[in-house]
Structure 1
Amino acid sequence: MFARTAQRQFQSPHLRSLARSFSGTAPAGTDFTHVVIGGGAVGLAIARALASHSHSSSPSSNSNSNSTLLLERHPHTGTETSSRNSEVIHAGLYYGPHSLKTRLCIRGRSALYSFCARYGVPHARVGKWVVAQDEAQGEALAGIHEVCRTAGLGVPTRWVGREEARRLEPEVRALGGVLESPETGIVDSHALMTALLGQFEESGGVLAVNSAVVGVEALGSRAGGDGWRITVRDAATGSESSITTSTIINSAGLGAADIHNMIVPPDKHVRLYYAKGNYFSYASSTPKVRRLIYPVTAPGAGGLGTHLTLDLAGRMRFGPDVEWVESPSDLAVNAARLPAAIAEIKKYLPSIDESALTPDYAGIRPKLAPAGAVATGGGGFVDFHIRKEDGFEGWVNLLGIESPGLTSCLAIGEMVRDMLYGSGKVEGSAALGT
């Protein structure tokens, strides 16, 4: 099914000839019906959903009347946030009952488990414990449990008694209580993205790698009413090509603010803030832990704490911490943060062998609010921004797509498709600044 994946990756010098093959067939005489910017898990899922919609609307293999192009600035898809994370399928515990993150996480989690089972993407529903160490943390766990129990979210949680916890995970310390999330799991993110790319291409979609967007122009008296002109620079040669599209989807992840700012006037510009997460590998087979272990999240932490995750072979790794950085390309693991990570890990896994922990990799989370203004819940919570922006035709804008973006990717793809083609109004985010 996925045999054509490597054969259909076009670089930007080919875009002019590629566009000519579509020119005049898409609506409004544009080269493409859809251009999705950004080939991470979310961009791939959106491109797949749009290409599948177009393919079902015009199933003839000889018809180019609906076409989807996915632009990726790197040589390969999914090399930024999507491949530098914990690879966790989140259940939807943390984001508040009315948030877009919760809605998409829950819908996406169910869709992702089904997708992985159907298409052979390695995954495991290993479950997660959130562990408290004192009374205040125990009260925080009780709050999470109460929301999950009463809000009708479809997020099961249960208390794990002290004796059961000691029997199941004797090495894990949880002095203030254990809340279990049985629906939490892990997934091979690389295999997931390969499957998404394969389905996108099977539906007639085209991937252009090494293709950095350097200019976006809304066409028509109504901005975007006559489509969009996108200027793309080839990463290897520096040559530029222009293409047109009826719709544009900004799913550029760490570069999404740059794309946004190419479109809107200066007084509407935004910036992203970069929370780097350092991960640490563990070389010892002891202590043995069989499920994910998360600490209670500290308010304003900007993340879920330095937690214990497992890979699909059962090996433990720890992270991410939160290190605010200025550049999204600052991906070197900060080894100086290992002692602080060890201190956090030993709160819930005191028998850890410190000598077996080594710096492994780092990822960057794009935040819409700076350090000190971000919390996982409560007053500083910042939701996903997914919206058809006011005053523009055919533009869906995605900003601040961090965790649980991987879990939510299929649901986000469906949401963007329905924003463009659904029979009813799809409720997206509020306007920026409101």
Structure 2
Amino acid sequence: MEASREEALRCVNLAKKYLSAGDYQKASKLADKSTRILPTSEAEDFKRYMAKERTSGKKEASAASTGSNNATSTMRERTPNASKSNDSSQTSYTREQVEIVQKITKLKAHEYYEILNLKKDCNDIEIKKSYRKLALQLHPDKNHAPNADEAFKKVSKAFQVLSDPNMKAHYDRTGLDPESRASASSSSFSERAGPGFQGFSAYPQANMSPEDLFNSFFGDQFFAGGPNTFFFGGPGVRVHQFGGRPRRFRRQRAEDTSNKSVFYQILPIIIIVIFAFLSNFSSLDGNTSVRAGYSFVPTEKYSAQYVSPNYKVPFYVNPKQYNSLSSRDSYRLANKIEQQYAEKVHAECIQEREYKENQIRKSYGWFFPDAEKLSRAKEIPLPRCDEFSRLSYHKPFSNYYYY
């Protein structure tokens, strides 16, 4: 009930802002929406006030029609039609906006400190303040100067690198874009995860688009009031209105990013399914036709429990099939099981780390992080990563097979 009342009052407050801007249609829709959510005295008072204002506005418009053409032109400038305002703002920009775009685009793509106007010894708070300022100045919905999109992308890239400790350290050491080598070396993650696993990106946030980074930094409510209204910090805080309709590039970016996000989420599952398929249906030895299935949980078919020799991983097999294997084949089966188990734990560890890093990133606010949320995020356990470290310490993955 309380949540419904808050939402109803929020609609009334938005309606008041649209009415003050001269947009009676949106104000009326929001007032009606507020009443549908929960009838309140505030909504009824506002509807009566809006009806009164609209009546007086019609009288003023009728009186103004007898004036000169100049007076009519002045009136239109003061109370512009919403669609005309949007069209004009779509192509208008200031000299200051052009200057800041030119300043950013003249810099080389990897001059991250210069792009954010920072010194090399800057701290995390200074990096965030600079990005916050430039991102708001260059966002495509506010800045319509030529090449503003390019400048916005450069600022986003610079912030991605300098805000990540591992990427920043790599950049300070080499002066190169960390992403250019991340896919090949995966140095940061490989050092933590252990030997034998390559090809995973060392920098999870490197795949974020400029729009994703912007929305993650400012919060999901940034576009809560529609494409022209920006909310900072939740209800009761300042509202900034940026003219113009959302650009086509943002919709395309959102679609591309959504597809990539879904793909990266299901990739570990695909790997596990493929590996399980190959493990169960490929022969254990090129010189034998014996095949033996297994499971990590007991089933009616796989009821006999065994433990792998190195990792001590329990697995279940068909006793008849398993007893028909030679000692060499049973040892190879155990090694295959350990390899699949390690792959499975590794994929789950990656998901745990990504979730924890995302929670830590969300705990940062406008100027300072939420200490309580940050503390909780940092204390999130990583049981599958602990298990993966145990496997890494116990035995190098390069020695899975013995022939």
Same fold (TM over 0.5): no
| Higher-helix-fraction structure | 2
TM-score (norm 2): 0.23
Larger RCO, structures 1/2 (Cα 8 Å, 6+ apart)? 1
Larger-gyration structure (1/2)? 2
TM-score, length-scaled by structure 1: 0.22
